[in-house]
Amino acid sequence: MAAKKFTDKERAEVMPRVAKDWARGMTARELGEKYGVSERSIKNYIAAFRAEWKREIKLATETVMARKLAESQDIKAEAWAEWERSKQNAEKEVTKTEGTGESETAQALVERTKTVAGQCGDPRYLSVIGNQLDYESNLLGLYPPKKIAPTTPEGDLLPVKVVVGIDHDKI
C-alpha cells in the first residue's frame, strides 16, 4: 500500500511540526509513522529544512558582515577626518591684562598675542585606520589561515606517533 501524500496545504501545516519533532531527535521512520507518510517523504522534508536553514544562516551571516563593514567604514571616516584636523596649525591666543579689580572693566588690556605652531598630525588616528583595515580583511577572510606548529610550552616540537594497522572507519 502506498503511503499517504499530503496536499500542498497539508504539507505547509505539517512541515513545521515535522521539523520540530526531528530537531528533538525523532528518526525519519518514527516521523513517518507519526504523520502517516513514507520515510522517504520525511527525508525529503528534512533535506528541505536543511536547505532552508542554510539559506537563512547565510543571509544572517551576510547581514551581520555588511553591518560590521559599514561600522568599520564609519570608524575609518571619522579617524581620517580627525587625522586631517590634527594636521592643522595650532593657534594659541594669549591676553595680558593689567589691574587689580576682579571685574573685566577694572582691568586694562595690555597685550594680546597669537601664536601659530605647525603640526604634523596625531599618528594614533592612523593606527585606528590600520586596525580597521586589518579588521575588515579578517572579516572578509582575505588573510590566509595562520599555521601554528604543535609545540610544548617549552617550545620543543611535539612527538609524532605513527600507528600502523588502524581501520580509520571504525574510529
All structural domains of the chain with their residue ranges: 8-99+111-142
Q: What is the mean pLDDT of residues 5-16?
A: 80
Q: Are 90 and 119 in contact (CB under 8 A)?
A: yes
Cα separation values, 87 from 29, 116, 119, 123, Å: 72, 13, 5, 10
Q: What is the mean pLDDT of residues 26-51?
A: 88
Task: Give 24-91 as a DSSP string.
Answer: TT--HHHHHHHHTS-HHHHHHHHHHHHHHHHHHHHHHHHHHHHHHHHHHHHHHHHHHHHHHHHTSPEE
Amino acid 38: pLDDT? 85
pLDDT tens readout for residues 78-135: 999 999 999 888 788 877 777 665 666 656 666 777 777 777 888 999 999 999 999 9
At residue 2, does pLDDT exceed 60? no
How does residue 60 score in pLDDT terms, banded at 50, 70 and 90?
A: very high
Which residue, among 79, 77, 80, 66, has the nearest Cα to 136 in the 3D structure?
66
At residue 7, does pLDDT exceed 60? yes
Residue 152: partners with Cβ closer than 8 Å, 6 or more residues away: 158
Helix H or strand E encompassing 108: strand 108-117
The vertex-106 CA angle with 104 and 108, nearest 5°, equals 80
Amino acid 1: pLDDT? 44
Residue-averaged pLDDT of the chain: 83
Give the predicted TM-score (pTM) of the model.
0.53
Q: What is the mean pLDDT of residues 15-28?
A: 89
Amino acid 71: pLDDT? 96
